[in-house]
């Protein structure tokens, strides 16, 4: 019995099904990668905004607001507060002379009321500045 050089209908149907499964798998991988990329980009952008705000507030006088030249992001605002640091050892006082060690807590609020942060760090300020 001699084999025909033409494909049968069943062989063609199986080949099309395998090809379709491959295309669907590739498309789902591309979709998942795009979602992960967009999430990573948003996370980077949020961390960048938070870093810019913290860097400015570490150098600026304690009661200043972050100017638009430093924080040019519409839809986002910088909130911060000063407090005395927690859990200092007894041998390290919070105030020495005219200087006080304070904790600076910075976070960013979006128009959708989503909170980014907070970042808490210590800073030395003059006694009358807070």
How confident is the model over 61-107, as pLDDT tens digits? 988 889 999 999 999 999 999 988 887 777 777 778 888 888 999 99
The pLDDT value recorded for residue 21 is 97
DSSP helix/strand/coil, 79: strand
The pLDDT value recorded for residue 5 is 67
How many separate domains does the chain show? 1
Q: Look at strands 99-110 and 115-126 and give their pairing.
A: antiparallel
Which residue bears the tokens 């904790």?
A: 103
Whether 55 is in a domain gets the answer yes
Whether 2 is in a domain gets the answer no
Rounded Cα–Cα distance for residues 40 and 61 (Å): 33
User: pLDDT tens digits, residue range 99-124?
Assistant: 888 899 999 999 888 899 899 998 88
Whether 4 is in a domain gets the answer no
Residue 32 pLDDT greater than 80, yes or no:
yes
| 52: containing domain | 9-129
Say what percent of the chain tops pLDDT 70.
95
Whether 105 is in a domain gets the answer yes
Long-range contact pairs involving 85-92 (C-beta distance under 8 Å, separation at least 24): 85/122
DSSP helix/strand/coil, 43: helix
The pLDDT value recorded for residue 105 is 94
Which pair of structure tokens corresponds to residue 87?
A: 């859990």
Rounded Cα–Cα distance for residues 130 and 126 (Å): 8
């Amino acid at each position: 019995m001699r084999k025909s050089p033409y494909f049968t209908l069943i062989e063609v149907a199986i080949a099309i099904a395998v090809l379709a499964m491959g295309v669907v798998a590739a498309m789902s991988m591309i979709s998942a990668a795009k979602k992960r990329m967009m999430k990573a980009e948003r996370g980077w952008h949020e961390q960048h905004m938070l870093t810019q705000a913290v860097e400015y507030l570490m150098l600026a006088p304690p009661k200043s607001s972050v100017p638009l030249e430093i924080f040019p992001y519409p839809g986002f605002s910088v909130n911060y507060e000063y407090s005395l640091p927690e859990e200092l050892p007894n041998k390290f006082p919070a105030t020495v002379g005219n200087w006080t060690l304070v904790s600076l807590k910075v976070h960013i609020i979006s128009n959708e009321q989503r909170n980014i942060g907070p970042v808490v760090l210590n800073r030395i300020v003059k006694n009358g500045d807070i």
